[in-house]
Amino acid sequence: MTGAAPAPEFRCGFAALVGRPNVGKSTLLNALVGEKLSIVTPRPQTTRHRILGVCTLPGAQIAFVDTPGLHEKASRALNRAMNRTASAALADADLAVLVVEALQWTREDELVLKRIVRTARPAIAAANKIDRVRPRARLLPYLAELGARHDFLAIVPLSALKADNVGDLRDTIAAHLPRSPALYPPEELTDRGLAFRIAEMIREKLTLELNQEVPYGIAVEVERLAEEEGQLTVDAAVWVDRPGQKPIVIGARGERLKRVGRSARLALNGVLGRRLHLNLWVKVRQNWADNARALRELGVE
């Protein structure tokens, strides 16, 4: 009499979500993990840091790494640091997930693919935003062209926004990870602390509110976190890099900054599951995006 078949071995590893700016990497990370870990705006280069999102499945644990979009024009220290962050995450990963926008291929997509080839990492292609493609048959020649560009392990068409085929991508990634025990406790979703998540949520609401008015000159630093009278009190400074931007962020009679504060507080109450009191003010840190010390204070290396 033969014994029962051995259980399949557990798989675990790092999957770097890489791509040019604004292809939906952060939306995809949030969909893969099932919680909002990475902020999302319509503006390119919203993601400035490496964001870890852990997904534990019955037979695997995937440590997804959302990265800043790799871009050609990196004139400021901030942009160069973002490119370094993305490249380092790719080099450290077990596999790469090249996120592209369905029906598009640009010079920056080609740049990212070349980085993948240079690191010799196995790669899966995720053709995102298929919800915008009508009729769906238009995808077939595009996917064939994508497959001809590189020897991908798999090509998965999906919509991160609609969570369409996201599970297929997750399962495909898990199947190609190395055999290894889990690296994180099953309840752990990210290695990012509370102050970082609060600062990022405030920055998201600022970016959405300001739109084109203060393009990339905004940063947020949480200066104090304290438990007070049963709620979390947060003091946060909004950095602008020119004096003329300060009144734009504050708005007439302070209404714009108040609006941003309300929006961020409500969003954080939902994400954190607790009451939060938020104090915001604006500071001028001239040319902070080209200042190595300022970038270190923000955790951008």
**pLDDT digits 0-9 by tens, 247-273:** 999 999 999 999 999 999 999 998 888
Number of domains in the chain: 2
Q: Are residues 204 and 266 in the same domain?
A: yes
Of 175, 205, 224, the one marking the end of a domain is: 175
pLDDT in tens, 54-88: 999 999 999 999 998 887 766 778 888 888 889 99
The rounded distance, in Å, linking the Cα atoms of 56 and 59 is 8
If asked whether residues 20 and 163 sit together in one domain, one would say yes
pLDDT band at residue 1 under the 50/70/90 scheme: very low
Structure confidence at residue 301 as a pLDDT band (50, 70, 90): low
Q: Does residue 184 lie in a domain region?
A: no
- Residue 142: give its domain's CATH number: 3.40.50.300
The reply to whether 63 and 154 lie within a common domain is: yes
Q: Average pLDDT, whole number, for the chain? A: 92
Based on the fold, state whether residues 130 and 33 are members of the same structural domain.
yes
User: What is the rounded distance in angstroms from the CA atom of residue 244 to the CA atom of residue 249?
Assistant: 10
Q: Are residues 37 and 163 in the same domain?
A: yes
Structure pTM?
A: 0.90
Q: Which CATH number belongs to the domain containing residue 273 in this structure?
A: 3.30.300.20
Q: Which of 106-110, 214-218, 289-293 has the lowest mean pLDDT?
A: 214-218
Please identify, among 112, 140, 175, the residue that sits at the C-terminal boundary of a domain.
Answer: 175
Neighbouring-strand partners of residue 124: 97, 154
pLDDT number for residue 5: 52
Please indicate, yes or no, if residue 187 is contained in any of the structural domains: no
For residue 215, what pLDDT is reported? Answer: 58
